[in-house]
Amino acid sequence: MQVDILLGLQWGDEGKGKIVDYLASNYDIVARFQGGPNAGHTLKINGKSFVLHTIPSGAFQKNVTNVIGNGVVIDPFTLKKEVDNLNSVGVDISKNLLVSQKAHLILPTHKVLDAASEHKKGQSKIGSTLRGIGPTYMDKTGRNGLRVGDLLSSNFDEKYQALKNKHLDLLGNYDFDFDLAQAEQEWETGIELLRKLQLINVEYYLNNALEKNKRILAEGAQGSMLDIDFGTYPFVTSSNTISASACKGLGIAPNKIGEIYGISKAYCTRVGSGPFPSELFDEDGEKLRKVGNEFGATTGRPRRCGWIDLPALKYCIMLNGLTQLILTKIDVLNSFKSIKAGTAYRYDGKETQELPFDLDNIDIEVVYQRFEGWDTEISGAQNFETLPQTLKQYILFLEKYLNVPITLISNGPEREALISKSSAIYA
Ligand code: GDP
Ligand code: IMO
Ligand code: MG
């Protein structure tokens, strides 16, 4: 058996939670491989929305085991809140949740460092989620971090104090007020919960599961344009978000990878700072935000909105080795008389489909192609063939441009609001 991967192809919030929840019934195991509580993955089941930050989006499928991989950074208190929330709706996730001993822990002082660093940057801040992600990954690569497995050692408290003191030294360099009392109390309750969970060697678990022909889906967080290497640096997150990261975030070898599903909205959004060439500042942008309910699932911040950026999408399809594209939020475009897609960039006196080294400090113009809208309600549609002709033509155009089959189209937040299309229509 092989591991399939599902990830976001834009700047996050593409609808990964919904699609993983839907696909999870075909799998035995769903495993998160990177990121942490900066993620907010929304599932809408029987009219109720749930947001997961750390726990994989297979949580609501009874027969699925959910795994938090070594590549993830964990805030114990956020994890506790998620476990409690699931409990309150009758899901005892602790039975179906396995946590890598090699996953790194987010300390309360990591979050303070994140906030202090952003504060100091002022106008040029990243717009981080303030969940301590950057400082935690810095400690990981700096070889200072605390890992879940350390919780089992007798001198964990000493290790915690040593790292906390290091952080307090660093914080002395910032003009930033903070109070740790409440955060440390919460940390304690989170640690208590984490100690009771099943803490395992995920790499052995997953490779053994593969030998036993178990089906595994690796769930990404954020999106490829937020990748630390290939995203819009420095306005990115602190982990690799592309498919290659699933191998190192779970201990799976590259030759074990099967399908690579990528998700893109039918338009584009971004939350936080950084370049966004196809961003709209007009009423179309306002309409996308309103109809698409584009407000962050983690921070509640309004998301910046724009037309779909096909050169960026094509770049991410290349980086990920995508085998299937899933298009979400197509219903948000229902009432547009016409829509646009960015098909090329103009910069340095040339027109190209290639992204420049730096999207930020460059005079860049997006070349758009206009399409007739379908201007009709498609909620409830389940059959590709019955979709409006203009929408089918648009999908055909996207498949041809991107050279990848679009196999699933999402037309609403609910689990069932999906239209599958078995093969590419461009072939
Ligand atoms: P994720 O981080 O990729 O899991 O995405 P988020 O949950 O942060 O944001 C996606 C938002 O869009 C959530 O509020 C979902 O409920 C919603 N959503 C997902 N798919 C669709 C869709 O096809 N149509 C509409 N209208 N909403 C959707
Ligand atoms: P999901 O998994 C959207 C953005 C932040 C900020 C930048 C760095 O829900 O798609 P960080 O806290 O990671 O240091 O912030 O990355 N960001 C996200 N944007 N969706 C996410 O996750 C994000 N996770 C981080 O807004 O611009
Ligand atoms: Mg999200």
pLDDT per residue over 44-57, tens digit each? 999 999 999 999 99
What is d(CA 60, CA 43) in angstroms, rounded to the nearest whole number? 9
Ligand 1, atom 20: closest residue by C-alpha: 413
Give the predicted TM-score (pTM) of the model: 0.97
pLDDT of 299 reads 83
Active site residue 139: no
- For residue 117, pLDDT over 70 is answered with yes
> What separation in angstroms does the CA of 367 have from each of 111, 267, 304, 340, 396?
40, 15, 19, 10, 19
Contact 19, 206 (CB under 8 A): no
Q: What is the mean pLDDT of the chain?
A: 96
- HEC string for 23-49: HHHHCCEEEECCECCCCCEEEEECCEE
Task: Tell me: pLDDT of 140 over 70.
Answer: yes
41 noted as active-site residue: yes
Residue 73: how many CA atoms within 13 Å on its side-chain side? 28
Torsion angle (degrees, nearest 10) of CA 333, 337, 342, 348: -140
* Span 217-251, pLDDT tens digits: 999 999 999 999 999 999 999 999 999 999 999 99
- The predicted pLDDT at position 426 comes to 47
Nearest CA to ligand 2 atom 6: 128
Q: What confidence category does residue 423 fall into, taking pLDDT thresholds of 50, 70 and 90?
A: low
Which two tokens mark 87? Answer: 């409990």
pLDDT-based confidence at residue 378 (cuts at 50, 70, 90): confident
Task: Please tell me which residue in 4, 21, 41, 110 is annotated as part of the active site.
Answer: 41
Alpha carbon 361 to chain centroid distance? 26
Decide if pLDDT at 427 tops 70.
no
With the most atoms of ligand 2 within 8 angstroms of its CB, the residue from 34, 264, 271 to mutate is 271
Task: Give the mean pLDDT of 324-348.
Answer: 97
Which residue has a Cα nearest atom 20 of ligand 2?
12
Q: Is 268 in the pocket of ligand 2 (CB under 6 A)?
A: no
* pLDDT above 90 coverage of the chain, percent: 94
Packing angle, helices 108-121 and 133-141, rounded to 10: 110
Residue 344 has what pLDDT?
98
The average pLDDT across 330-351 equals 97
Which ligand minimizes its atom distance to the CA of 51?
1
The pLDDT of residue 25 is 96
**Using 50, 70 and 90 to split pLDDT, how confident is the model at 379?**
confident
Q: Is the pLDDT of residue 425 over 80?
A: no
Q: Whole-angstrom Cα distance, residue 148 to residue 242?
A: 24
Give the position of tokens 């074990």. 256
Q: How far is the CA of 234 from the centre of ligand 2 (A)?
A: 13
- Does the beta carbon of 40 lie inside 6 Å of ligand 2? yes
User: pLDDT tens for residues 60-82?
Assistant: 999 999 999 999 999 999 999 99
Rounded to an integer, what distance in angstroms lies between the CA atom of residue 340 and that of residue 266? 10
What percent of the chain clears pLDDT 70, i.e. is strictly above it? 99
Structure tokens belonging to residue 180: 């740790």
Least confident of 117-126, 254-263, 373-382: 373-382
CA distances to 44, 265, 386 from 382, in Å: 17, 18, 8
User: Average pLDDT in the 392-410 region?
Assistant: 96
Continuous segment of H or E residues that includes residue 394: helix 389-402
- Report the nearest atom of ligand 2 relative to the CA of 239: 13
Using most ligand atoms within 8 A of CB, pick from 52, 328, 382, 409 the residue to mutate for ligand 1: 328
- Say if residue 356's pLDDT is above 60: yes
DSSP state of 124: G
| H helix count then E strand count, the chain | 11, 20
The closest alpha carbon to 246, from 56, 415, 409, belongs to 56
Predicted pLDDT at 98 = 98
Question: CA 49 → CA 30, 346, 385, 401, distances in Å?
Answer: 20, 41, 30, 34
